[in-house]
Amino acid sequence: MSPEIRTLKGMIREFEEELVWGFFGIKESNIHHLRLGFYTGDIFTEKPNLERDVMPILEQFRKIKPTVISLAFDPEGSGPDTHYKVLQAIAEAVRQWGNETDISNIKIWGYRNVWYKFHPAEATHIVPVSLNAMGVFSNAFENCYLSQVDASFPSHKFDGKFSDYAKKIWVDQLAHTGNLLGKPYFYQNESPRLRTTHGLLFFKEMTAEEFLKSALELQKSIGGKK
């Protein structure tokens, strides 16, 4: 594939992300596409390196000074290889940033999607999802990610759109949690939000230190070197 075609495909994906963020009122000026080298190469096999891939992320940290950083917390081999590589690039940027400033109060939110799921014991936060939220989610996915509605690399576990599979996972997670807490906990709860729960979303909150330790453990688990 020629560099021009790769750039065009990347620009389409960038525009789709801008549509999604615009769906929730985020301005284009607050969206920064870094086009990291390992992601825009001819094939997704090259590992991130410090100057090309980590430094642009570090520069964003220096400029924005985030208090919360979210990322796909997927082990290598559990889904698209780029998820794991982004995780390691961000981890190294956080490590470098920690050499310059106090990052002890930074929160890292690790999420997972259709490729890999949290065991309930791994998640630190469980978010109720209503039917209304599911509808907004489907609408956003189907109208913004036009190049991804029919996935090029679909999951072998579900025949359909990724948005539908994500909703199925949320519903399953509610069913499993309901078995533990009992259905009345949700359907007879004093909180209207919990009474209208039709799915549960899991994510893991970590300190910078916990995140760096987890990233290193993931790296060692597949034989990588620091």
Average pLDDT, the chain: 87
Q: Is the pLDDT of residue 81 over 80?
A: no
pLDDT of residue 224: 46
Cα distance between residue 12 and residue 10, in whole Å? 5
State the alpha helices, DSSP H only, in the chain.
3-23, 37-40, 55-64, 81-98, 131-144, 162-181, 183-187, 192-195, 208-221
Q: Is the pLDDT of residue 157 over 80?
A: no
pLDDT of residue 217: 82
Strands 107-111, 125-130: pairing kind: unpaired
pLDDT (mean) for 206-226: 76
pLDDT (mean) for 44-60: 84
Band (82; pLDDT cuts 50, 70, 90): confident
DSSP 8-state symbol, 63: H
pLDDT of residue 78: 55
Give the residue extent of every domain in the chain: 34-221
User: 185 CB contacts (<8 Å, ≥6 apart)?
Assistant: 178, 194
pLDDT (mean) for 206-218: 91
Is residue 85 classed exposed, middle or buried when 0-12, 13-18 and 19+ CB atoms within 10 A define those classes? buried
Report which residue type is found at 110.
Answer: G
What six digits make up the tokens of 223? 């034989």
Q: Is the pLDDT of residue 225 over 50?
A: no
40 compared with 31, residue with greater pLDDT = 31
Cα distance between residue 171 and residue 114, in whole Å? 13
pLDDT of residue 40: 62
pLDDT of residue 226: 40
Q: Is the pLDDT of residue 141 over 50?
A: yes
C-alpha 85: how far from its chain's center?
A: 12
Band (6; pLDDT cuts 50, 70, 90): confident
pLDDT of residue 56: 95
pTM of the model: 0.85
Cα distance between residue 45 and residue 39, in whole Å? 9
CATH 1.20.1740 fits 34-221, yes or no: no
Which strands form 68-72's sheet, in the order they lie side by side? 68-72, 107-111, 197-207, 125-130
pLDDT of residue 43: 54
